[in-house]
Amino acid sequence: MAASWFPQWRKQSASATGLVAPDEILPPGQTIIMGLQHAVAMFGATVLMPLLMGLDPNLSVLMSGVGTLLFFLITGGRIPSYLGSSAAFVGVVITVTGFNGQGINHNLGVALGGIIACGLLYTLIGLVVMKVGTRWIEKLMPPVVTGAVVMAIGLNLAPIAVRSVSSSMFDSWVAVMTVVCIGLTAVFTRGMIQRLLILVGLIVAWAIYAVLTNGFGLGKPVDFGLIASAPWFGFPATTAPVFNGQAMFMIAPVAIILIAENLGHIKAVAGMTGRNLDPWMGRAFVGDGLATMLSGSVGGSGVTTYAENIGVMAVTKVYSTLVFVAAAAIAVLLGFSPKFGALIHTIPAPVIGGASIVVFGLIAVAGARIWVQNNVDLGQNSNLIMVAVTLVLGAGDFALKLGSFTMGGIGTATFGAIILNAILSRRQAAALNDIARQQN
């Protein structure tokens, strides 16, 4: 560990690779421009996830900026990362609040108590990691487990996405059109536009929807009067949390997913920068946990590190942590603009529903990607049975009732994966050892 909390930032060194290290600094103008690029990169998911949960996207963007600044302070400015709205909360928030996927979630307070509980658990795990390291986490939640849980979350959300666009045939076709727009953006564009495929595809679908409804009267028109009447600056509305035991127990295990995400993202950055970031892993968990608690306490979404921003760093080779201070400041400014919020609220519900179909599918595929990247062997019976059971529990929303408490599909899938892996992998290891002894 370094003697000082913050590094001594220095000017960019003459590097053959052109890499800007985390403890190096760019000129102010370049820092702001790079910060703007990172703010744009996080924008799509950080706005979309709150909309899917019925949260105020203005407030969530604001708290993502505040959370990123808090993360920067707690990690001592040593880990380049942006904290944005996490997709891992979508399923459990919808489940505990009964949200129908459109408008404002009027039962939001119950979910906020659970988000705070999740942040607290995450923070406590971070404190343990600061003392003993991450090896125990990697043993408890190997890639086969985290991949299965992430995929189960995506499959659990699939019916919600489909129901949100099934109220009329027009809405269903708009959702299909949105999926096509996002797909075309993903395949036929390059560079920054391709990295913002959800946002760009959503904007294009939104424009087509406006032409069809406002121009040809085929559906509910977009009300642009909301944008004109909204002021440029103002404070977003906040919501007080409600601490319900069942909701807290359902949402708190999301910390497992956040840990897996954060661990993987930081190791990826370490590999790209050639820096050993393990000594600050515990601080990163604590920073993310406290940022989640702070966001949930006022009505914002739980937050996590973002792969989108890691992609920007990989392309630009700029890893200066000060760039993320600039990105956070830009997000805070946007959060204090009701006009920006009004613009977001004009996005039609079927367009959001179409985007959610893609996003939830990508969450499921992300689980498979974890298996591929870590060479998970599904030929082993222990892995095969654990994955099979986890996916069905999650996709089928299998619930278990214990007294007055009910654990939903995501909870049973998460705990089922961890418990089954602990039991079956130990037996599998014992069997392999027996075979090895017999061969010798």
- pLDDT tens-place string over residues 196-254: 677 788 889 988 988 988 888 787 887 777 777 778 888 888 888 999 888 888 888 88
pLDDT in tens, 273-326: 777 878 888 999 999 999 999 999 998 888 888 766 776 677 677 888 888 899
Number of helices (H), then strands (E), in the chain: 19, 6
Count of beta carbons in the 10 Å neighbourhood of residue 151? 25
Better pLDDT: 1 or 345: 345
CA 136 to chain centre: 23
- What is the rounded CA–CA span in Å between residue 158 and residue 156? 6
Write down the pLDDT at residue 12. 63
Q: Please, are residues 410 and 156 in contact by the beta-carbon 8 Å criterion? A: yes
pLDDT in tens, 112-134: 999 999 999 999 999 999 988 87
Residue 276 one-letter amino acid:
N
- What is the rounded CA–CA span in Å between residue 289 and residue 302? 9
Is 14 a residue whose pLDDT tops 60?
no
Both tokens assigned to 327? 């990105």
Write down the pLDDT at residue 434. 60
Q: Please, are residues 71 and 202 in contact by the beta-carbon 8 Å criterion? A: no
Using N-to-C axis directions, what is the helix angle for 307-316 and 28-53, rounded to 10°?
Answer: 150
Name the band, by pLDDT with cuts 50, 70 and 90, for residue 384.
Answer: very high
Q: Please, are residues 202 and 44 in contact by the beta-carbon 8 Å criterion? A: yes
Name the band, by pLDDT with cuts 50, 70 and 90, for residue 70.
Answer: very high
**Average pLDDT in the chain:** 81
pLDDT (mean) for 83-97: 82
Is 165 a residue whose pLDDT tops 60?
yes
- What is the rounded CA–CA span in Å between residue 323 and residue 34? 6
Write down the pLDDT at residue 260. 75
- The phi, psi pair for 219, rounded to 5°, reads -165, -165
pLDDT in tens, 400-409: 776 656 666 7
Write down the pLDDT at residue 405. 60
pLDDT in tens, 410-421: 778 888 888 899
Write down the pLDDT at residue 121. 94
pLDDT (mean) for 339-354: 79
Burial of 102 (0-12, 13-18, 19+ CB in 10 A): middle
Is 16 a residue whose pLDDT tops 60?
no
Write down the pLDDT at residue 342. 78
3-state secondary structure of 401: strand
Tell me, yes or no, if the pTM score tops 0.85. no
Residue ranges in 241-348 assigned as alpha helix (H): 245-251, 254-273, 281-298, 307-316, 322-335, 338-345
Q: Using a pLDDT cut of 70, give the percent of the chain over it.
A: 89
Write down the pLDDT at residue 435. 58
Is 101 a residue whose pLDDT tops 70?
no
Write down the pLDDT at residue 67. 93
pLDDT (mean) for 319-340: 87
pLDDT in tens, 28-67: 888 888 787 777 667 767 777 887 788 888 888 899 999 9
